[in-house]
Structure 1
Amino acid sequence: MNKPFHVHIVDAERANRDALCAYFEAHGLTVTPMESAAELLRRIHRYRPDLVIMDAALPGLSGVQACQRLRAEGDRVPVILLSARNEEIDRVLGLEMGADDLLGKPCSPRELLARVHAVLRRSIVPPGLPMLAMAPVPIGTLQFDIASRCLVQGGQLHVLSTVEYAVLAELVANPGVAVSRERLLSASHSRAEGLLLRAVDVAVMRLRKRVEPDPAQPRYLQTIRGHGYMFVPAAPIDGAALPLQRSRRSTPTGAAASPSMNSV
Structure 2
Amino acid sequence: MTATGRALPLLLVATPADAPPHVLTTLRDPRFTYRMVHTGQDALRDLYRYRPDLLLLSLRLRDPGPWDVLQRVREMTEDLRVMALDRTYRERTALRALEAGADDLLWLDVPLPFAKALILARLRRAMPADPAAQLLDDGVLRLDLLTREASLSGTFVPLTALEFDLLFALAFNAGQVLTPEQLLARAWRSRPGGDPTKVKHAVLRLRRSITHATGQDAPVETVRGVGYRYVPPRPARS
- The TM-score, its normalising length taken from structure 1, stands at 0.42
Q: Could you say which structure has the higher helix fraction?
A: 2
